[in-house]
Amino acid sequence: MTNPSYDRRGPAFDPMAMLPRLLRGRTVGVAMAGALVLAPLPVHAGPEATPPPEDATPPEGEPSPDDPVQRAMEAYRSGTDNYNNARYEEALADFREAASLYASPDFQYNIGLCYEKLEKYEEAIGAFTAYLRAKPSAEDRPNVENRIEQLKVQRDRKQREDEEAREAEKARAAEEARAAEEARAAAARAKEPPVVIETGPPPGRALILGGSALAGVGGVLALGGGIALGVLARQRSLDVERAQTEGNPDELSFAELQQLEDEGKRFEGIQVGLVAAGAVVGVTGAVLLALGLRKRSAAMNGDGSAARARLLPSATGVVLTGRF
Amino acid sequence: MRTHDTNHRTASQRLTVGLLLLCGGCYTAELDPELTGLFACDEDDDEASTPCPSGQTCVNHRCENADALPSLTVLAPEDEESLVENVSDVLMGMPQGPAIDVILSFQGSLELSSPGEDHEFGEGHVVVYVDGDERLVIDSGDIGATMAVEVQVPPVAGAHRFVLQAVRNDGLPYDNPEATATRLFWLESPVTRRPFVAVKSPWPGTTFGPEDQTIEVELATLNFDLVDPSNTKVEGQGHAHIHYDEGFPMCLQNPACDGGYIGIIGQSRTTEVTLPPSGAQAAELTAVLRHIDHSAYGLPFDCDPTVPGPLDLCMPVFETIEILRVED
């Protein structure tokens, strides 16, 4: 439906004159009451533009600065000017102000245009949809609907692009965080001594070490103690024998020889004890050692599941080595 | 090759160690306490220490069979036996005439053998000393039975001493007490029959330490009765004074002679005297007869030998023996 007031506007007061490109040939009609210019209507001046109410018309020849229509008109003009100068945010604010002062679906159309320029497609679609809802019989409805569809396409594309950008940003942030973490780890590794991480003790190690130690102790006990005390016992024996067979050249008394004999027998007893104890300990150690070696051999031949892996730091990171 | 040699040495060492352990390092000797002449000992050992095995006695620093110790016993002359012989007496001037043959009878346990052979315990010879001089060596015969030998004794009236010593083949005297036998006897003139005194103990030549010590002195007398002191002089009776290291007989005429007086012996014939401390030296021990009133007993009876004058006119009756003070 055409707004009659739109058609009645004069060329001097045709705020829509500056909007042909904006409105794509549409004319904007603003119904003004009296001698005062009509309240500026939205740049959209469709045939169904709603005229300002009668009671909103100020007294003729003296428009009130507080008149909402007047203020809407001023906001409309400012919005149009900003729009033409590609100041879309300011234009959007002006059109929103105008819409708040004067209810016209055309302002929603203009708001939609600003949102479109600002690539706020969802808001643009909302504004155009509000325009069609408020003006169901709009002549340009097919065009507007078509525009809405295009906006949806653009919206979706933009959403995808935004999503991809966000994903890319997240990936970039994650990469940066990982790089930072690696840098910190590298710095920490540079300060700390190399760490060797053994995945597990060598198989049979405890048995080998324990067995070797026991075998050694047993051997020392048996050989060292046995030989030392055996030598002592033998020396006593030789002393007593020499005294009895060579005429006691050392002039040993019976008591002294008895003492030598007692010492010799005591040393011999201790010797036997040490040798026996050393043998027991040594054999135990040998058995443990054999078990340990057998276990290690089995592991080396792959009969067992044991594998030895070593995790070593290197200049390029971490190197995993192992014996299987 | 190097590896082979090393292995060879290691095997040898192991074998050596094994042998040491198996047989070389054992006590194999067996002390036999029945062996004699083997174990060293010392006679000065404390008896409680039992330096020798049971049944053995320390002889010459070796433990020997106590049942086979050399031993000697004098049978004749009898102890303090007076043999009246034609001997000289100082009262009759200097000793004159041949030595007197005295029959020495003894027995003992010793396998007699010639000197110079290897020592064998229980074997050896007997040396006879007369008044400290070696006079006879007996290296043959059987002393298990009684042996009698003639021994020449100086023809001087007074006390004489036999010492019989069992000596090993190597010349070392057996030092067990049983291997030495002593005998004090008298020779007297049938003319004078005068009193004599002799120190029976200690035996001449006995050794003592240098420190002051108490010893027992035993006297023997001939023709004189030892009685306790009293106030009346009786011929043939009196007591004896013991002097240490004085110069008898001249000392009697010196009032300072009593400085060496160390004891008196009366009826008991023995007393304990204290030897003064001394260095290592020979010392004299003198027994001199006194009248009952302590005046010096002289010959003839009524003379006083303490009055300066010729001693052959008033002879004191005394005997001086030599003892030894030695360091420990």
Q: So what's the ipTM on this one?
A: 0.71
For testing contact with chain A, the best of B27, B31, B54, B59 (most A CBs within 10 A): B27
Q: A237 CB near a chain B CB, below 8 Å?
A: yes
Q: How close are the terminal C-alpha atoms of chain B, in Å?
A: 70
Asked if the Cβ–Cβ distance from B25 to A229 is below 8 Å, we say: yes
Distance (Å, rounded) from C-alpha B111 to C-alpha A82?
163
Whole-number pLDDT of residue B184: 97
Tell me which amino acid residue A221 is: L
B127: closest CA of chain A, how far (Å): 28
Checking if the pLDDT of A258 tops 50, the result is yes
CA dihedral (B80, B84, B85, B89) in degrees, to 10, reads 80
Q: What's domain A4-162's architecture?
A: Alpha Horseshoe (1.25)
Q: Which residues of A touch B17 (CB under 8 A)?
A: 223, 227
A222, closest residue in chain B (CA to CA):
B21
Whole-number pLDDT of residue A52: 46
More confident call, A318 vs A105: A105
Q: Given phi > 0 = left and psi -120 to 50 = alpha, else beta, which region is A135? A: beta
Q: A231 CB near a chain B CB, below 8 Å?
A: yes
Q: B32 CB near a chain A CB, below 8 Å?
A: yes
- Strand-strand pairing, B225-226 and B100-109: unpaired
Quote the tokens at residue B119.
Answer: 């020592």
Tell me which amino acid residue B314 is: C
A246, closest residue in chain B (CA to CA):
B38
Quote the tokens at residue B17.
Answer: 């160690």
Distance (Å, rounded) from C-alpha A275 to C-alpha A297?
31
Q: B26 CB near a chain A CB, below 8 Å?
A: yes
- Enclosing H/E stretch for B213: strand B213-222
User: Please, are residues A83 and A113 in contact by the beta-carbon 8 Å criterion?
Assistant: yes
- Nearest partner of B204 among B182, B189, B226, B221, judged by Cα: B182
Question: What is the average pLDDT score of chain A?
Answer: 75
Whole-number pLDDT of residue B24: 54
Of the segments A18-32, A132-146, A273-287, B162-176, which one has the largest average pLDDT value?
B162-176
For testing contact with chain B, the best of A257, A266, A274 (most B CBs within 10 A): A257
Whole-number pLDDT of residue A190: 79
* Position A91 confidence tier, pLDDT thresholds 50, 70, 90: very high
Question: Poorest-confidence range of A126-140, A256-270, B19-33, B106-120?
Answer: B19-33
User: Please, are residues B241 and B264 in contact by the beta-carbon 8 Å criterion?
Assistant: yes
Of B21, B38, B51, Cβ closest to residue A275? B21
- SS3 of B164, please? strand
Strands, E assignment, B3-84: 56-59, 62-65, 71-76, 81-84
* Position A220 confidence tier, pLDDT thresholds 50, 70, 90: confident
Phi first, then psi, for residue A250 (nearest 5°) are -90, 5
Whole-number pLDDT of residue B18: 61
- Nearest partner of B199 among B176, B181, B182, B177, judged by Cα: B182
- Enclosing H/E stretch for B315: strand B315-316
A250, closest residue in chain B (CA to CA):
B40
Domains defined along chain B, listed by start:
37-68 (no CATH), 70-193 (2.60.40.2550), 195-328 (2.60.40.10)
Whole-number pLDDT of residue A36: 27
Q: Which residues of A touch B50 (CB under 8 A)?
A: 255
CA dihedral (B37, B38, B39, B42) in degrees, to 10, reads 40
Q: A240 CB near a chain B CB, below 8 Å?
A: yes
Give chain B's residues under pLDDT 50. Answer: 1-8, 45
Q: Within 13 Å and on the Cβ side, how many CA atoms surround A256?
A: 14
Whole-number pLDDT of residue B20: 58
A283: closest CA of chain B, how far (Å): 16
B170: closest CA of chain A, how far (Å): 16
Q: B14 CB near a chain A CB, below 8 Å?
A: no
A209: closest CA of chain B, how far (Å): 24
Whole-number pLDDT of residue B137: 95
Of the segments A63-72, A182-191, A278-287, B179-188, which one has the largest average pLDDT value?
B179-188
- Nearest partner of A104 among A96, A116, A92, judged by Cα: A96
Mean pLDDT of A279-304: 83
A225: closest CA of chain B, how far (Å): 10
pLDDT tens-digit series, residues B288-322: 999 888 888 888 887 888 887 776 778 889 999 99
A260: closest CA of chain B, how far (Å): 9
Q: A244 CB near a chain B CB, below 8 Å?
A: yes
Asked if the Cβ–Cβ distance from A244 to B33 is below 8 Å, we say: no
Asked if the Cβ–Cβ distance from A234 to B24 is below 8 Å, we say: yes
**Which residues have CB under 8 Å from B184's CB, separation 6+?**
B79, B80, B159, B160, B161, B198, B200, B220
A273: closest CA of chain B, how far (Å): 12
Whole-number pLDDT of residue B47: 53
Mean pLDDT of A239-248: 88
Q: B265 CB near a chain A CB, below 8 Å?
A: no
* Position A319 confidence tier, pLDDT thresholds 50, 70, 90: low
Checking if the pLDDT of A70 tops 90, the result is no
